[in-house]
Amino acid sequence: MGLLAEIQNDAISDKVPVATLLRKVLVLASNLDSDVLEEWVRFEMNGYPRQAEVPQYRRIKMNFKVTGGNMAYQVTNAPLASAAVMVATGDNDISILKYRQAIGSIDVDEIKKAESLSVDMMNYAHFLPGKVTERSYSIHAFWGEIPASEILGIVEAVRNRVLDFVLSLKKRYPNAGEIDAISAKEASVEKVVTQIFNTTVQGNAGVIGTANNSTVNITANSGNLQDLRNQLTQYGVNDDDLDELAVALNEEPQISSDKKFGPKVGKWVGGMLSKAASGAWDVSMQAGGALLEKALLGYYGLDS
């Protein structure tokens, strides 16, 4: 059995630990000479360092609770509004746990026994009195709670992304049979592998809804057509389609305040989504819609 087939079978099987699966993907990344795939695998295997941005599937919303009180009143396991804690601490992301631990450290069997997990937040406790709690309160414990299922979701997200990547690679090279038949030295292969990585591993292939609720990582500078082209090229939009878009944008240089594209740009977007539906553009329709919306609104100088 070849490496691609092994990885596909291991990704499908819940009996194969995800850390074992990733070690095989590391070999695949080396064979493909893919730096982006190798970096992702190593981060998942060894943990994400502080300077590295964690993927969206590792960003988990916490609910805050506190135990404390004063001479007259005591509270135990009392919920706190996340917005109030955010204002008090001045940290807009304080309610988001960026889970950086190595995926092999996640004990699936143990976590399944728990309903929730706690994160000690006592280093922020001094912000609470007078802002979130009564000023006279002494804070005995302050923590964040996350559903245990969210941690298990990290394991499933990695497994699913590996499977999506391998299936997309086999779809792009259906006659290759095995990884040795794909020449990583060809520039076109490197470009395709990076594109597949961006649309599967990065999460864009699983985008649901509009761009403001997605994990699309794309930012086009306002009015900069070359920047827009460069960004969309990374996601597999070919030169002919980009040329058509340039013509449409030249004829429709502005967008209405309700963020509706003009007829020519809208027609181009519709054509790209048709390509996504047919497989001619190797992204899902949902991912493609979110991607194009975010990129084009950025070009027009609007937030998605």
User: Do 31 and 169 sit in the same domain of this protein?
Assistant: yes
Among 151, 183, 215, residue at a domain's last position: 183
Q: How many CA atoms lie within 13 A of 286 on its CB side?
A: 13
64 within a domain of the structure (yes/no)? yes
Q: In whole angstroms, what is the distance from residue 257 CA to residue 150 CA?
A: 38
User: Do 175 and 208 sit in the same domain of this protein?
Assistant: no
pLDDT per residue, tens digit, the chain (304 aa), is 588 889 999 999 989 999 999 999 999 999 888 899 999 999 999 999 998 889 889 999 999 999 999 999 999 999 999 999 999 999 989 999 999 999 999 999 999 899 999 999 999 999 999 999 999 999 999 999 999 999 999 999 999 999 989 988 888 877 655 655 565 555 567 778 888 888 888 754 333 233 333 344 555 567 889 889 988 888 889 999 999 999 999 999 888 777 788 889 988 988 888 777 677 887 776 677 888 888 898 898 886 5
User: Do 156 and 237 sit in the same domain of this protein?
Assistant: no
Domain region containing 288: 203-304
At 146, which helix (H) or strand (E)?
strand 138-147
211 within a domain of the structure (yes/no)? yes
Among 183, 218, 242, residue at a domain's last position: 183
pLDDT at residue 192 in the model? 82
pLDDT at residue 186 in the model? 57
287 within a domain of the structure (yes/no)? yes
What values do phi and psi take at 136, rounded to 5?
-80, -5
User: Do 166 and 228 sit in the same domain of this protein?
Assistant: no
C-beta separation of 117 from 153 below 8 A = no
User: Do 208 and 303 sit in the same domain of this protein?
Assistant: yes
The whole model's pTM is what? 0.65
pLDDT at residue 185 in the model? 53
Among 154, 183, 212, residue at a domain's last position: 183
DSSP conformation class of 117: E
Q: In whole angstroms, what is the distance from residue 84 CA to residue 40 CA?
A: 35
C-beta separation of 58 from 99 below 8 A = yes
Q: How many domains does the chain have?
A: 2
User: Do 143 and 216 sit in the same domain of this protein?
Assistant: no
